[in-house]
Structure 1
Amino acid sequence: MSYYFIDKKDPRIDVMFQGLEKMEKMLSAIENMPKHIFNGERFLTDEELSNVLRVSRRTLQEYRTFGVIPYYMLQGKSLYKESDIMKILDDAYKRCQEEQRWV
């Protein structure tokens, strides 16, 4: 039985690394692609927004019920306009700064 070692001078290694570099570029391009964009607005799903705000999805449902956050319902799926959420957070931050207290 003979053993054959592949070292860095082997042309197959170069081809493998070229393939890995190409895959890395493709993944980077996919990662930088905007998601859920409509008319220049980015929309967040329940799961994404709950991760951002660090609240449960049930809490988001209560926020929707009580009108705390605006949302759009599309085929039974709740979507939140990112700019609306950022405005709500910014307004709450400004209110806290004015009152010198934290909510």
Structure 2
Amino acid sequence: MEDVILEKNPQVITFFQTMESLLTNIENMAGNCRPFLNGERFMTDKQLADILKISRRTLQDYRTNGILSYYLLGGKVLYKESDVQKLLEDNYYPSYK
């Protein structure tokens, strides 16, 4: 007669813990994935404000003053990731040490 595998079996417990960990990792990766459009990544004003740790109002000031390029599509503001990187690089000041 074949052995019955029970829920309390250490191998079963380990298997399900591993599966739970994999599922969590996949969900995190899917949540962080942004689709590409013509090889470029785009961010919303909320995403960019969170990344830069600034308010959405500050981003609006950057748009109004021509500091940061953006796209306006149906009331939704999008920023090219490469434009943001360029802005940061252009405004980088190294330390004096």
**Partners of 1:50 and 1:78 in 2: CA distance:** 12
**Partners of 2:72 and 2:22 in 1: CA distance:** 39
Q: CA distance change for structure 1 residues 18 and 74 in 2, over 3 Å: closer, same or farther? A: same
Q: What residue is the counterpart of 2:89 in the other structure? A: 90
SS of the residue 1:73 aligns to: strand
Q: What residue is the counterpart of 1:20 in the other structure? A: 20
Structure 1 unpaired stretches of 5+? 1-5
Deviates more, 1:82-91 or 1:24-33: 24-33
**Partners of 1:29 and 1:54 in 2: CA distance:** 22
Q: Is the 8 A contact 1:36 1:44 kept in 2?
A: no
Structure 2 unpaired stretches of 5+? 1-5
Q: What residue is the counterpart of 2:3 in the other structure? A: none
CA RMSD of aligned residues (A): 3.0
**Partners of 2:32 and 2:62 in 1: CA distance:** 30
1:68 shift after superposition = 0.6
Q: Which aligned pairs between 1:2-81 and structure 2 lie closer than 5 A? A: 8-9=8-9, 13=13, 16-17=16-17, 19-20=19-20, 23-24=23-24, 26-27=26-27, 29-31=29-31, 33=33, 35-81=34-80
**Partners of 2:86 and 2:62 in 1: CA distance:** 15
Identical columns (%): 41
Q: Is the 8 A contact 1:43 1:79 kept in 2?
A: yes
Q: CA distance change for structure 1 residues 36 and 62 in 2, over 3 Å: closer, same or farther? A: farther
TM-score, structure 1 as length reference: 0.68
Q: What residue is the counterpart of 1:3 in the other structure? A: none
TM-score, structure 2 as length reference: 0.71
